[in-house]
Structure 1
Amino acid sequence: MPFEPFFYFMRGIHGKLNNHGPGSVYGGQDYQHAAFLRRMQKEMRQDEVLDVPLTALNVVVFDFETTGFFPEKGDEIISIGAVRVCGGEIQEDPFYSLVRYEQELSSEIEILTGLTREQLKDAPLLSEVLIRFFHFTQHSPLVAHHANHEKSFLQHASWKLFRTQLQHRIVDTSFLYRIAEPSLKLVRLEDLCNHNDISIVNRHHALGDAMLTAQLWSIYIEKVNQLGCKTLRDVYHRLAR
């Protein structure tokens, strides 16, 4: 580990080792969690997935519900949902967890997500949920709708909690529908689902949105495949034109 990250890692441990309450990061099992994540990230080989046929590629489609849009300004993840998609087949072993949040939720977030402070105040800590999430994902590429939102929160949490840079490849569903239907002006998840005759169920629920996004992914890998994009490398080359 380079000196600077190691310095901040040790400073974080020193400051929090004896204060392992709901808001603390390190302590007890979290040492093992951080070691697991760093080992997994070190072993990851992103280039290996670029030439796997899209119709055979294993990905994890995921979604976060959050308290806002800016993790660097204090907004937090309050639930995580994910589902594996093998080729175009959605698997039946999804991941879902609430995340502890002890502050008051805004009325807008309560109405949008259906979550309440009572549900979140005794939920697992984010560090615990993320480690379970990474055990679920392993080395698979991650897929999300408007992935910059999820990516920014995941990068922020990986560094803040584990002093580890996120190494997972994250693919946005827009990469596919921009190729398959370049004149399509739809952006919202529900609009794209309606466009593709996908029934909208559990919208603005992390697992519900992950399931909707997984269905979109399955549809659009077939569409781009028919246009000659057989792999992620083909997708990136087409987008770069």
Structure 2
Amino acid sequence: MNKSLILVSLMFLIVCLSFRGISEKRDINVSIYPTFNNEKLILNTYQYITSNKDTLSITTLKFYISNIELQFEDGSTYTESKSQHLINLEEEKSLVLLLKDVSNKKIDKVIFNIGIDSLTNVSGNLEGDLDPALGMYWAWNSGYINMKLEGKSSSCTSVKKNFQYHIGGYLPKQNALQQVILTVTQKDKPLIIKTDVAQWLNKVALRETPSIMIPGPKAIAMSNWYKEMFSLYYEE
């Protein structure tokens, strides 16, 4: 075989391997599905009842999902770069996260943080979903709000019957960042993360704690409760 033919054959092989590598990648959507007691969560108009018999409506639900990682059945992983997503129930487009160039391997686990880690908090990156103008940054505290939930309930003792939870904090004794690990049991279904707010508010006595607005032990306790409201949802 002459050298020219060998060179052409090698180039053909390289091209084939390149296309094979491309075909083994895909873009996937991860959808966020906010609910209350397994019913679709609708802001402002709907009233819901907790296990504590608190009747309430929710006016605001915003939170950060960050540092997304996918673990595959063979033990390999995919880690999203620049991984900070602001989920805002008032912005429908924010409820779908696009992950690019993901392996075609079967996904075993979905891992992510609720909130913004300490490194990002001090990095000075204030663009995109980290823009303070989006209402999730404490200028007075120089840090991000990981989770914001607001609403109204007759159980609250305030004049306007409001409850407000702005949960954040990244310093060592105030760190409210939470990691969520979800195991994928139906691997051929779309990735839909259900966020059932009832799983959080069932643990809260609105009459006793209608507001948390600063970092500290109460905020950390709240973050431990709301991390339990995330699960994978499979459409039939």
TM-score normalised according to structure 2 size = 0.28
Between structure 1 and structure 2, the one with the greater Rg is: 2
TM-score normalised according to structure 1 size = 0.28
